[in-house]
A = this chain, B = another copy of it.
Amino acid sequence: MKVLFSHKTGNKYFYDENSNQDYHCKEGMIKRDDILNNVIVKSNKGVLFTVLTGNNFDRSIKIIRGPQIITNKDLGYIISRTRINKFSNILEAGGGSGAATIFFANLVNSVKTFEIVPKHFEIIKKNLKKNEIENVELILGDLNEYIEKENDNHYDLIFLDLPNPTKILEKNLNCLKKGQYIVIYQPSITQIKEIVDFIVKNKREDFFVEEISEISVRNWKITEKIARPEFKKEIDHTAFLIFIRKV
């Protein structure tokens, strides 16, 4: 895959080298030969492009979008804060569009993902195939009904991005190793508070609320003359993360 980065608009276009065709977009036509042999190319509308070699980040942008995907700022922090690694097994629900699933799968030993909505299940399935992911077990169903059937001490992380996560906390979570985390992703701080309230109210000494965080990324624009935060770029709120440790 090649990525065409427009100097005019900043847009990125993805070009499949196996296509045998010139590339057409709103900013003009670029010749296949140019794409394959040059770094800076010009479309027939006079727009300049840098030709980049495609990478995993590009592929992560190209996934088929269903439900809102989890951003890099949140995904990265889940990894670094829980310290899961290439030997880890992750249990995840709901799968959404599979963005987190693919990210995790590329880093860890195995991922088991539950998605309750058939339409989303199909999107995840396609995205996994497209990304050639083979260490994910994808289940169409409700984690609530399955979680107590999982093997004891198998998982290093339970990651929940679904409504009513306290239902899961009511279950027997023997499948999660002691000392490891349940991480829950929720857009509203009131949802996080409900989780904390549930744990306090039910005197759940087996759950230790270790951290509640929100992550921000601020992008900077730097040219010869200027250095300033970008206007209108990604510093937005997405969600809060709660890290609950199994005691």
Chain A interface (Cβ < 8 Å from any Cβ of B): 5, 39-40, 50-57, 59-60, 72-73, 75-86, 103, 106-108, 178-181, 187-193, 196-197, 200, 205-206, 208-209, 211-232, 235-237, 240, 245-247
Contacts and interface: CB of A to CB of B under 8 A. Distances in A.
Contacts of A191: 226
Interface centre among A60, A190, A208, A235 (most CB of B within 10 A): A190
Nearest to A239: B228
Given A208-B50, A231-B236, A247-B52, A80 B73 contact: yes
Given A77-B76, A219-B212, A220-B214, A188 B106 contact: no
Given A85-B107, A189-B228, 15 more contacts: A39-B205, A53-B178, A53-B247, A76-B77, A80-B103, A83-B103, A189-B227, A200-B223, A212-B220, A212-B221, A212-B222, A213-B219, A215-B218, A229-B236, A231-B236
Given A55-B180, A237-B231, A245-B52, A189 B83 contact: no
